[in-house]
């Protein structure tokens, strides 16, 4: 018997998850913010704005009604950009049944408050609700997941049975799902990797070579692990799919929006020109400022993040940022 699942957010990732679940036989309701996206899915069975070329089966029902997407669902998946989560889910909170499982597939920090998505959900749904929440992360490009190419992700939950339930719902022959109880670690990996990927794109765009990219990935992992550990995560989580796996993909993959931002910056484009040229949100652009401020608040040294903040929001020349990274004081690798 098909299970009722709601996906809130019809960007590339939300649409890909809707297709994966529908192909598995679930009944999926996909909430679309925009009228054009909704119209295309209903009339063409394709999200031409965000996931062109992917046919959506009949058991994906598109809607612009948030109540319809949420009512009587076993599982509701959050797939809106991080800057929209509070507004959308504050409106949704009263419509979600206490028995509904919530899976956050959004990677990012809340601007201003610097909350993780877990902290934001706790704020919206109350202190008693987190036991029904889970968080999804891992090295995935939406288009490849939608095409059924092999991928692996991690679902973290405060309550292990919830993680196992979501694991069973999401797992398919082409999407392997692992579980974790390290909610913080799984979330932080998905935030930091975006900023490091912008740095990797700048490095590649400047022609600094594969040695430089490997160094950025490795030292980016060190920064990611330091921050996550400071927030109570297990360092081993960052060596897995939500940390190192996602970092490698986002820094090296040609489909990476964040790496693309770095390439464009290296080519001399301004941030305003880059953001005006695309519908898709590169979360690293928004999260660089938040991550920089969070590291400052917690007293965590994150030199790559600091330099990306200076480039994106302080007008620093990328070549100068690279030079300053290379000329930092000498220290042991573990430092």
Which of 167, 162, 165 is CA-nearest to residue 152?
167
Q: Are 217 and 256 in contact (CB under 8 A)?
A: no
Q: Is the pLDDT of residue 154 over 80?
A: yes
Which of 66, 72, 60 is CA-nearest to residue 99?
72
Residue 180, classified by CB atoms within 10 Å of its CB into exposed (0-12), middle (13-18) or buried (19+), is: buried
Query: Mean pLDDT of all residues in the chain?
Result: 95
Q: What is the pLDDT of residues 193-223, one digit of tens each?
A: 999 999 999 999 999 999 999 999 999 999 9
Active-site residue identified among 19, 24, 73, 193: 193
pLDDT, position 60: 98
Q: Write the DSSP string, 268-321.
A: T--HHHHHHT-SS--HHHHHHHHHHHHHHHHT---HHHHHHHHHHHH---HHHH
Q: What is the CATH number of domain 184-326?
A: 1.10.1040.10
Q: Is the pLDDT of residue 177 over 90?
A: yes
pTM equals 0.96
pLDDT category, 335, cuts 50, 70, 90?
low
Task: Locate the domains of the chain by residue range.
Answer: 4-181, 184-326
pLDDT category, 82, cuts 50, 70, 90?
very high
Say which residues have a Cβ less than 8 Å from residue 200's Cβ, sequence separation at least 6. 213, 216, 217, 220, 250, 251, 252, 259, 262
pLDDT, position 331: 87
pLDDT, position 275: 83
SS3 182: coil
Q: Is the pLDDT of residue 278 over 90?
A: no
Q: Are 18 and 26 in contact (CB under 8 A)?
A: no
Q: Is the pLDDT of residue 2 over 90?
A: no
pLDDT, position 233: 98
Q: What is the pLDDT of residues 8-62, one digit of tens each?
A: 999 999 999 999 999 999 999 999 999 999 999 999 999 999 999 999 999 999 9
CATH top class, domain 4-181 = alpha beta
Q: What is the pLDDT of residues 282-331, one digit of tens each?
A: 788 889 999 999 999 999 999 999 999 999 999 999 999 999 999 998 88
pLDDT category, 281, cuts 50, 70, 90?
low
193 included as an active-site residue: yes
């Amino acid at each position: 018997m098909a299970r009722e699942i709601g996906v809130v957010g019809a960007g590339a990732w939300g649409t890909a998850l809707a297709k994966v679940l529908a192909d598995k036989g679930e009944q999926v309701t996909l909430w679309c913010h925009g009228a054009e996206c909704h119209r295309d899915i209903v009339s063409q069975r394709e999200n031409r704005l965000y996931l062109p070329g992917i046919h959506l089966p009949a058991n994906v029902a598109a809607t612009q009604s948030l109540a319809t997407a949420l009512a009587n669902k076993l599982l509701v998946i959050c797939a809106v950009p991080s800057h929209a989560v509070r507004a959308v889910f504050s409106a949704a909170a009263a419509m979600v049944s206490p028995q509904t499982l919530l899976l956050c597939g959004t990677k990012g920090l809340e601007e201003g408050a610097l909350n993780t998505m877990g902290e934001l959900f706790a704020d919206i749904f109350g202190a008693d609700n987190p036991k029904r929440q889970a968080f999804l992360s891992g090295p995935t490009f939406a288009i490849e997941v939608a095409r059924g190419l092999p991928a692996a992700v991690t679902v973290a939950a405060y309550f292990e049975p919830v993680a196992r339930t979501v694991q069973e719902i999401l797992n398919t022959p082409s999407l392997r799902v692992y579980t974790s109880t390290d909610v913080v670690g799984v979330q932080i990996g998905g935030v930091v990797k975006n900023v490091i990927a912008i740095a990797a794109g700048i490095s590649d765009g400047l022609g600094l070579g594969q040695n430089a990219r490997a160094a950025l990935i490795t030292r980016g992992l060190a920064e990611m692990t330091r921050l996550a550990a400071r927030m109570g995560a297990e360092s081993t989580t960052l060596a897995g799919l939500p940390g190192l796996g996602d970092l490698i993909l986002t820094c090296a993959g040609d489909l990476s929006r964040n790496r693309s931002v770095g390439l464009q910056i290296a080519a001399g484009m301004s941030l305003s020109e880059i953001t005006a040229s695309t519908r898709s949100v590169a979360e690293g652009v928004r999260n660089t400022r938040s991550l920089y401020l969070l590291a400052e608040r917690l007293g965590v040294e994150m030199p790559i993040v600091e330099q990306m903040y200076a480039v994106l929001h302080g007008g620093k020349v990328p070549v100068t940022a690279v030079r300053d990274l290379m000329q930092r004081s000498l220290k042991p690798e573990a430092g």
